[in-house]
Amino acid sequence: MLLDPFRRKINYLRISITDRCNLRCTYCMPEEGIPLIPHKEILTYEELLRIIRIFAEEGISKVRLTGGEPLVRKGIVDFISHISQIKEIQDLSLTTNGILLKEYAQGLKRAGLKRVNISLDSLNQEKFCQITRRDDYEKVWAGIEEAIRTGLSPIKINMVAIQGVNDDEIESFAQLTFRFPLTVRFIEYMPSGNGKEWRESDILTIPQIKSHLERVGTLIPIPMDRWDGPAKRFRFEGALGEIGLIGPVSSHFCGDCNRLRLTPDGKIRTCLFSDDEIDIKEILRRGGSDRDLRERLLIALQSKPEKHQINSHQFKKCQRNMSAIGG
């Protein structure tokens, strides 16, 4: 069992396998993109598998693959197949923007992927284009439909709620749960990614989001299960799917944090909002032993902060772009 200095059980590793992305979302990066990590600096699949195996032996049982956009990296289906064979990994999932999901859904399922999160911030094609700077809305919906047909479950739709941008669509997103077996999750707008674009006045808080949802119907709480993250779960009477509410700004859930992050270039981040990083690639590429990697993991674990500093005078925005951290 992995315990941090605050006695939290750490069993979850989020791995960003690439900083490349086929969208240019306004809250994530500028239209011209960002400087990319050179390919030779990105961890190979073999290096990642070695890390996962060692971390799994120490107590990691849940892995999520992120990006950038993870499906743009070649060989991902085979990579997932290898992860799924690590017996200690009981939950294997992926976060995607959905553009390539129609093409990959069946292969991902066969390889052992259990579930998928899909980022989607508008159900309006024109607004989707404005937010993402790409005209791929229909591809995303085709990917969602294919994921449903394939049997990936649960399928979670992540909507970042932004004041004056998509706050008028909250009820429409909620209505999806009556038509499809989807978990629609509303996430407060966080100060990460394209930091220059973030303003506190843009945040739509969880209480504000709930007031929109209550126009659709009564929110019925759902008990948490073992693999739940920070989302508070609800459903509407008669709905096929669920509602999730994630409030990293208005309601800290740091006391229950169970995760570490691994960046594409081999740095462990113990908190999304901290720029402190522990280099693990350096050990891999100088021929370090498994024991060396375990020791570096324990060093990272002991550096995990008690909480992030959002809403405090000590807070400063991440220096790394979100696509290079992993959402």
Cβ within 8 Å of residue 39, ≥6 positions away? none
β-partners of residue 9 are 3
Return the C-alpha torsion angle 50, 54, 55, 61, nearest 10: 90
For residues 188 and 206, the answer to whether their CB atoms sit within 8 Å is yes
Closest CA to 163 of 199, 203, 210: 203
Average confidence score pLDDT of the chain: 90
pLDDT, tens only, 11-39: 999 999 999 999 998 888 888 888 899 99
Q: What is the spatial distance between Cα 227 and Cα 91, in angstroms, rounded to a whole number? A: 8
pTM score, whole prediction: 0.92
The Cα–Cα gap between 92 and 103 comes to 19
Contact present, 88 and 126 (Cβ < 8 Å): no
pLDDT of residue 34: 83
CATH of domain 12-324: 3.20.20.70
Residue 111 sits at φ, ψ, to 5 deg, of -75, -15
Q: Cα–Cα distances in Å, from 74 out to 54, 86, 137, 139, 232? A: 24, 21, 23, 19, 35
pLDDT in tens, 61-112: 999 999 999 999 999 999 999 999 999 999 999 999 999 999 999 999 999 9
The pLDDT of residue 2 is above 80: yes
- 43: phi > 0 → left, psi -120 to 50 → alpha, else beta; which? beta
State residue 134's pLDDT score.
96
Per-residue DSSP letters for 191-211? Answer: S-SSGGG--GGGB--HHHHHH
Question: What's the confidence (pLDDT) of residue 266?
Answer: 97
Residues in the chain: 327
DSSP 266-298: SEEES-TT---EEE-HHHHHTT--HHHHHHHHH
pLDDT tens-place string over residues 169-204: 999 999 999 999 999 999 998 766 554 555 666 789
